[in-house]
């Protein structure tokens, strides 16, 4: 038992695990048939080389590398927790860079890194309910970054006809190979620089509602009932 624990905690084992995870994501995508809904929401910013914040719920991380234009740089905010490091290594196989931290731990350093990336014209990706939930409830972090950087938040979600939800806090969605699927983009949300108090809270709710809407739509289009928020 102690040998098994030492193996699973080893850096080499984690590297192999993340490589396998990346290959599975690639296999699911290349064997599937994917539809993009409202893709022009993000395309207009890519075409103009303008940065924005990609937002998606933690439970829909799996295929998000494939919603992205690989020619455009993006930095994902990833927690410093062990699970976060596994995600960081996995998405690293797709050329996605990461910023360590969250709205609670390592927040100030992460905030500076995100603002620097956006100022340099690069996009960032945030899971507003990560790293520990509550599920599908947006924290203040995403609207605060959008306000300070003066860039829009654009929500996105994926859905798959054949899939399974893990019994985790985020109801993690595992898509299966050889399936039909969809990526649904939401509308850009601009947070005014002067927004504060009740107005800033209204924009937080707007991000939460739009992100839930596109997630529910991805489920509807793939024949599933919506996942309920915590």
Annotate 6-22 with DSSP letters as a single string. HHHTSHHHHHHHHHHHH
DSSP state of 192: P
pLDDT mean over 94-119: 84
Contact 93, 18 (CB under 8 A): yes
The confidence score (pLDDT) of residue 10 equals: 74
* pLDDT for residue 4 is more than 50: no
Contact 63, 215 (CB under 8 A): no
* pLDDT for residue 209 is more than 70: yes
The confidence score (pLDDT) of residue 7 equals: 46
pLDDT tens, position by position, 36-69: 999 999 999 999 999 999 999 999 999 999 999 9
Mean of pLDDT over the chain: 92
The confidence score (pLDDT) of residue 102 equals: 67
Q: Which two tokens stand for residue 164?
A: 């399974």
Half-sphere exposure of 82 (CA within 13 A, CB side): 6
* pLDDT for residue 177 is more than 90: yes
pLDDT mean over 179-187: 98
pLDDT mean over 191-207: 97
The confidence score (pLDDT) of residue 9 equals: 66
The confidence score (pLDDT) of residue 104 equals: 55
The pTM of the full predicted model, rounded to 2 decimals, is 0.92
Dist CA 74 CA 180 (whole Å): 26
* pLDDT for residue 84 is more than 80: no
* pLDDT for residue 131 is more than 70: yes
Helix or strand or coil: residue 146?
A: helix
* pLDDT for residue 157 is more than 90: yes
* pLDDT for residue 192 is more than 60: yes
**Cis before 96? omega within 30:** no
Q: Is 38 exposed, middle or buried (0-12, 13-18, 19+ CB in 10 A)?
A: middle
The confidence score (pLDDT) of residue 85 equals: 81
pLDDT mean over 89-96: 92
């Amino acid at each position: 038992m102690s040998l098994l624990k030492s193996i699973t905690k080893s850096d080499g084992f984690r590297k192999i695990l993340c490589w396998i995870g990346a290959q599975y994501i690639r296999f699911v995508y290349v064997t599937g048939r994917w539809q993009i809904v409202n893709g022009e929401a993000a395309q207009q910013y890519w075409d103009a080389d303008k940065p924005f914040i990609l937002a998606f719920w933690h439970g829909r991380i799996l295929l998000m590398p494939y919603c992205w234009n690989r020619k455009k740089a993006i930095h994902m905010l990833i927690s410093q927790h062990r699970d976060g490091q596994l995600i960081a290594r996995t998405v690293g196989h797709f050329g996605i860079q990461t910023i360590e931290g969250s709205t609670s731990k390592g927040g100030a350093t992460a905030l500076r890194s995100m603002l620097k990336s956006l100022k340099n014209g690069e996009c960032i990706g945030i899971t507003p309910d990560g790293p520990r939930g509550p599920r599908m409830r947006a924290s203040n972090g995403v609207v605060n970054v959008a306000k300070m950087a003066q860039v829009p938040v654009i929500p996105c979600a994926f859905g798959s006809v054949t899939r399974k939800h893990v019994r985790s806090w985020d109801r993690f969605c595992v898509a299966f190979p050889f399936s039909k699927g969809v990526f649904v983009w939401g509308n850009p949300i601009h947070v005014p620089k002067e927004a504060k108090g009740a107005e800033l809270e209204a924009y937080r709710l707007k991000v939460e509602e739009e992100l839930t809407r596109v997630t529910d739509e991805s489920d509807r289009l793939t024949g599933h009932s919506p996942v309920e928020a915590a």
